[in-house]
Amino acid sequence: MSPRIRRAYRTRTFLRDAVAWLTLLTLGATAALFWHYWAYRTVLASGPGAGVVDPLIVVLAYDRVVEDVDVRHVDKEQLREQLQALQRDGFEGIGLESLARFYRGELETLPARSLVLTFDHGYLSTADAVDPILRELKWPAAMFVMTERQERRDPFFLYWPRLRRMAASGLWEIGSHGRLGHIPIQVDAAGEEGPFFIRRAWLPNEGRAENGDEFAARALRDQQVARATIEEEVGRPVLAYAPPLKDVAVATLDPEVVQAHEEALGTFHALAFVDDLFGVNDRLSDPHHLKRMRVAPRWSADVLQKRVAMAFGEAPQEASELAPWRWVPRAGEARSEGDSLVVYGPARADVWRAASQLADEWVLEADVRIESGQLWIVQESADLSEEWRWGGDAVASHLQRRQPASTVETLASFPARIEPGRMHRLKVVRRGAGVWVEWDGRPVAERPSHLPSMPRGSVGLVVWGGGEPAQLTVKNLRFSELDYRARPMPGQPSAEQVQAAIRDSPALAALSPLWLEAGRDGLREQPLDRDLLAILSRRYGWEILPTVRLRPDAAGAPVARLGEAMALVAQQNFAGLRIDTSGLPPETRQEIETWARAEESRWRRFRLLVEPPHGTLATDTTGPHRGGVRKGANS
């Protein structure tokens, strides 16, 4: 190239605009920083405010939420009204982290009325519609995402950048909904397909369906991958899991599948949620089976308010047992007809009592009539892993223990018959470790029946039509909570003392033999007739709560003594401890009650009964339905 041509093509250097370049780069960097801090700004920094040791936690589950009115989904305004109504009722939103810390014992208290908002599937429209409301209310929420949707970049669902921003705002926590969920997979040789999560996959190379272990491994792997993916993409730990299918036990009759799901719930996450009619949890709830109430698209704010209030056991005492939302059907339908409740369905129908899962001891009374088939009074365990039931048909009645999709174990059979077309009087008392049933005004057995485990969950009436449509009519219905009654007695009771207890057995929850004496010098064991107590417990369905008596000279360090006593009692597999404080000055008694409340919140299913009660405790009224320490009634 000649110099002349080179000269012609000579260009100016960009350094002539160095200032512009610098300015532009600086502006660009500033804008990028500003955008980053703006997009990832924290909206909600603090956890919940002051609370109580024994809160009630209501968990609401929403499917898709949309911006505009749509009969198939909850819409934005509807949600806003619902949440504002709950806020007016004193609910305070809490996040998964607070909840997990509470169940781990790292957080002593939660707001008395805690509300956990959860949204399933990770719909984009949900985030769009809900986010402004959360910002307004300063309430946190959890979004459960099924990561296969993010992998597939399904445009209806949230993508990772948005999820990261949501998590950074402090308003949202991202939970796992599994990875593949209900994606269809091949389940047999013919090419039949079924949901990934409840059917055994067909293994074409081996010409068989996977076995229980293989299914369990696959279910766990799915969860593990989902969790790892979310943690990697969002950069925060995944605290909670919500199974992608609501009621696995109903969706499949395969016990190994159900079993695998049970295991999956508790394996990888601090919290796991299951669907429930009421969605109310408390300190004693299993963090791997926290109950969520699924909000139906047609529910107005008023309906939700009523349902939550009923689930909390907050209906006015004088309100009729048939007040709306107190008995809620799961299968079939229920309606009030005058003074009776009529429950009906094509083959099965049921109704469940709101707030019954919060009652340890209760009594159910009713006049019942079925038109055909069988009637059962059922109580599910909180984690839905088992249930006990009393009921039967025109031939006989039984007390049974049942695991979903598994065999039924009959604990006892009774001659009492449930005759279709006739009104029967029913009374069921659930207390201690047993149950007492009266049918048509007469006990079905001489003594209460013992229940080998102690489920605590919703109580319901279930009717099977037996080939005909199921129908149940209920009148004079009453469900009420009972006091926990423990009968103090010596470690080696006399025959008279035992007879007196047996006379009171229907209402008596526990025997409380004196076992330990606590003084300045330590614990002293008193002789205990363990064999007799074990037989009595088994025969009459009583719990055994050994008594520790605090001598006045223990007043200096009662708490240390009690700790030792608790350890000893727990070691011997007793259900709890009764603390006799009668010999102590009032301030020491108060100190002990406070200690017991805190201690009971740390232990699960361990009763601490402080007697006589110190009547001046302010904390008794702070809980929504009861104080932290169970107060017994001497009998």
Partner 1 sequence: MAPRRLPPVREADARGRGLGYWLIPLMATLLFAAGIAHVGYLKLANVEYFWYRPLANTYSLLISFYILSRFLLSAFYRPPRYVGYRPTLSAVIACKNEEKSIARTIDCLYASDYPEHLLEVIAVNDGSTDRTLAEMQRVKERHPKLRIIDFGRNLGKRHGMAAGARAARGEILVYVDSDSFVRRDTLARIVQGFKDPDIGAVCGHANVHNARKNFLTRMQEVRYYVAFRVVKAAESLFGAVACCSGCLAAYRRRYVMEILDVWLRQSFLGTPATFGDDRSLTNFMLRRYRVIYDSRAACSTLVPETYRQFFKQQLRWKKSWVRETFLASRFMWRRHPMAAFFFYLGGLFPLISPVVVCNAIVLPFFGVGEVSLLYIYGATLMSALYGLYYLGRLRSSLWVYGVAFSFFYMLILVWQTYYALLTVRRNHWGTR
Least separation in angstroms between residue 153's CB and partner 1 is: 8
**CB atoms inside a 10 Å sphere around CB 2:** 7
Least separation in angstroms between residue 232's CB and partner 1 is: 17
Least separation in angstroms between residue 20's CB and partner 1 is: 5
Give the binding range for partner 1 (CB under 8 A) out of 7-15, 258-266, 424-432, 533-541.
7-15
Interaxial angle between packed helices 530-540 and 495-503, expressed in degrees from 0 to 180 and rounded to the nearest 10:
20
CB nearer to partner 1: give 18 or 567. 18
Spatial neighbors of 519 by CB under 8 A, at least 6 apart, are: 551, 553, 554, 561
Decide: is 21 part of the binding site for partner 1 (CB under 8 A): yes
CB distance 264 to 227 below 8 Å: no
CB nearer to partner 1: give 157 or 344. 157
Least separation in angstroms between residue 11's CB and partner 1 is: 4
CB distance 525 to 547 below 8 Å: no
Decide: is 442 part of the binding site for partner 1 (CB under 8 A): no
Binding mask 118-137 for partner 1 (x = CB under 8 A): ------x-------------
Decide: is 31 part of the binding site for partner 1 (CB under 8 A): no
Binding mask 86-125 for partner 1 (x = CB under 8 A): --------------------------------------x-
With b for 16 or more beta-carbon neighbours within 10 A and e for fewer, the 145-168 pattern comes to bbbbbbeeeeeebbebebbbbbbb
DSSP string of 274-314, one letter each residue:
EEESS-EEETTS-TTSEEEEEPPTT--HHHHHHHHHHHTT-
CB nearer to partner 1: give 32 or 408. 32
Please compute, for residue 139, the number of CA atoms within 13 A of its CA located in the half-sphere on the CB side: 25
**141 to 160, contacts with partner 1 by CB under 8 A?**
153, 155, 159-160
Phi, psi of 610 (to 5 degrees): -105, 120
Decide: is 43 part of the binding site for partner 1 (CB under 8 A): no
CB nearer to partner 1: give 11 or 582. 11
**51 to 80, contacts with partner 1 by CB under 8 A?**
none
| Size of residue set near partner 1 by CB under 8 A | 21
Decide: is 3 part of the binding site for partner 1 (CB under 8 A): no
Distances (CA, A) of 434 to 397, 407, 483, 596: 17, 21, 15, 25
Decide: is 37 part of the binding site for partner 1 (CB under 8 A): no
Decide: is 29 part of the binding site for partner 1 (CB under 8 A): no
The residue within the footprint of partner 1, chosen from 3, 4, 205, 232 (CB under 8 A), is: 4
* Element of type H or E holding 413: strand 408-414
* Residue of 506, 249, 228, 465 lying closest to 365 (CA atoms): 506
CB nearer to partner 1: give 15 or 45. 15
d(CA 507, CA 159): 57
The two counts, helices (H) then strands (E), for the chain are 15, 37
Give the binding range for partner 1 (CB under 8 A) out of 13-21, 189-197, 450-458, 521-529.
13-21
CB distance 558 to 593 below 8 Å: no
d(CA 386, CA 262): 11
Decide: is 17 part of the binding site for partner 1 (CB under 8 A): yes
CB distance 490 to 497 below 8 Å: yes
Give the binding range for partner 1 (CB under 8 A) out of 9-17, 85-93, 200-208, 601-609.
9-17
Interacting residues toward partner 1 by CB under 8 A: 4-5, 7-14, 17, 20-21, 24, 124, 153, 155, 159-162
